[in-house]
Chains A and B, each alone.
Chain A
Amino acid sequence: MQQVQDLVTIIPWNFVATICNLLIQMYLIKRFLFKPINEMLAKRKEAADAEIRDAEKAKTEAEAIKAEYEQNMLEAKERANEILSNAQKTAALQSEEVVREANRQAAAIKAKAESDIAQEKRKAVNEIKDEIGGMAVEIAGKVIEREISEADHAKLIDEFIANVGDAS
């Protein structure tokens, strides 16, 4: 007959052996299941991380390029604006110049015309004076032919003309 243990009993040797078994089992499970799997998971995570990092890098680069492009665009626009405003300024300046020149010329023309008119007027007045003098002399000669000498004659005319000049 084979020996058997009691059904409900605690045997110290089994107790100790079981604790040892449990600890060994723990080590074995850690060594053969968790270590490889965790290493593998870490590797996978690493790979995923690397991919994400690459994507991030590419994104950053693209953004840098975009920022540069925008910067360039901005600069170009600024330059264009500058050029435009310069041109406008120049144009305004020029037009002002032109207007001022025109005004000056007009003024000069006007002044010249006025002086011309004044001269003409004087000339005309002189001519009229002469004419009127001639006519007066003629008329006076006709009226008082003999009574007045040549000298008196001229004196009279001058007086007359002076009067006329004053009157005019």
Chain B
Amino acid sequence: MELDVSGARIFYTFPFDIPILGKITINETLVVSWIVMAIITIACIILTRNLKVENISKRQALAEMIVEMANNFVVGNMGEKFRYFIPFVSALFATSLISNLISLIGLRSPTSDLSVEAAWAVVVFILITRQKIKTNGFGGYLKDFTTPIFVMTPFNILSELATPVSMACRHFGNILSGIVINGLIYGALAVASSALFGLIPGAVGDFLSKIPFLSVGVPAVLSVYFDWFTGFMQAFIFCMLTVMYIANAAETEE
């Protein structure tokens, strides 16, 4: 039995090195995330075709509902002055959701590569820090680390850094655990089916035991949890935490 739990495949490696970035590669993560972007963009274009002021179609109603939901989500959790975060949060949510769900059609989720989540978390972390500096001023931001007493500074820095790490690891861990468990189950079911059909004597049994029949239906049940539920939940939670952290950063102490 071969258990296939590995990282993203690398399709092509450019033969030159760039000092900081290291080797530039075209790998599965990037390709699938481009596919995700294409899907989202095409969906947006299709949804917003033939917009009308009156007598709207179902498609337009759906598009309006999505926009309204995004508006309500951001404005409801952050307040009116953060309206300009709506496209960012929507992009984050859409990319995360489609990336998580794309494993349903057999592609490898870009979100099962820690680089992706780390990048998102770092962007969010930069936004949070920017908001904090904007609210308290740079001095106030630095002073915030020494509260309640000066000795706590290292712990405050650690807890500050824990935010992006925990956000990235949470999302990544949930998606990757789905992939690992799915891989284990596929492997186990392949072994089980080959053992089961291997009982048939002769060439027929040999032939049938090569095909993992049992892996047709059973993993679908698990995919409901690991793909649909986890995928949706993690996208939602990532955006929710982003919104909450930024809104918290905007609240002044006084």
The segment from A5-13, A86-94, A119-127, A131-139 that touches chain B is A5-13
A3/B30 in contact, CB under 8 A: no
Contact bitstring B49-92, A, C-beta under 8 A = 1, else 0: 00111100000100110110000000000000000001110111
A36 CA / B20 CA spacing, docked (Å): 40
At the interface, yes or no: B23 with Cβ under 8 Å from chain A? yes
Residues of B within 8 A of A26 (CB): 87-88, 91
Measured between C-beta atoms, what is the minimum distance from B176 to chain A in Å? 7
B10/A18 in contact, CB under 8 A: no
Residues of A within 8 A of B176 (CB): 7-8
The segment from B116-124, B128-136, B191-199, B220-228 that touches chain A is B116-124
A33/B44 in contact, CB under 8 A: yes
A29/B87 in contact, CB under 8 A: yes
A18/B21 in contact, CB under 8 A: no
The segment from A41-49, A62-70, A144-152, A154-162 that touches chain B is A41-49
Interface residues on A, range: 35 or more
At the interface, yes or no: B208 with Cβ under 8 Å from chain A? no
B21/A16 in contact, CB under 8 A: yes
Main SS of the interface on chain A?
helix
Residues of A within 8 A of B122 (CB): 15, 19
Measured between C-beta atoms, what is the minimum distance from A105 to chain B in Å? 90
A131 CA / B139 CA spacing, docked (Å): 149
A29/B94 in contact, CB under 8 A: yes
A32/B27 in contact, CB under 8 A: no
A47 CA / B44 CA spacing, docked (Å): 25
A7 CA / B4 CA spacing, docked (Å): 11
Main SS of the interface on chain B?
helix
Count, chain B residues at interface, CB 8 A: 54
Which of these, B6, B33, B47, contacts A33 with CB under 8 Å? B47
Residues of B within 8 A of A25 (CB): 37, 40-41, 91, 94-95
B29/A14 in contact, CB under 8 A: yes
Closest to B49 in A: A36
Closest to A19 in B: B119
A18 CA / B30 CA spacing, docked (Å): 8
A15/B118 in contact, CB under 8 A: yes
B48/A33 in contact, CB under 8 A: yes
A18/B120 in contact, CB under 8 A: yes
A15 CA / B153 CA spacing, docked (Å): 29
At the interface, yes or no: B161 with Cβ under 8 Å from chain A? no
A34/B91 in contact, CB under 8 A: no
Which of these, B20, B23, B51, contacts A40 with CB under 8 Å? B51
At the interface, yes or no: B106 with Cβ under 8 Å from chain A? no
B9/A3 in contact, CB under 8 A: yes
Residues of B within 8 A of A28 (CB): 37, 40-41, 44, 91
Residues of A within 8 A of B86 (CB): 34
Sorted from nearest, which 7 A-B pairs have the closest CB atoms? A5-B7, A14-B115, A18-B119, A32-B44, A30-B87, A26-B91, A33-B44
Q: Known contacts A18-B119, A29-B91, A37-B64; can you find 18 more A-B pairs with CB under 8 A?
A: A9-B7, A12-B115, A14-B27, A15-B115, A18-B29, A18-B115, A18-B116, A19-B123, A25-B94, A26-B88, A28-B37, A28-B41, A28-B91, A32-B48, A34-B87, A37-B48, A40-B51, A41-B67
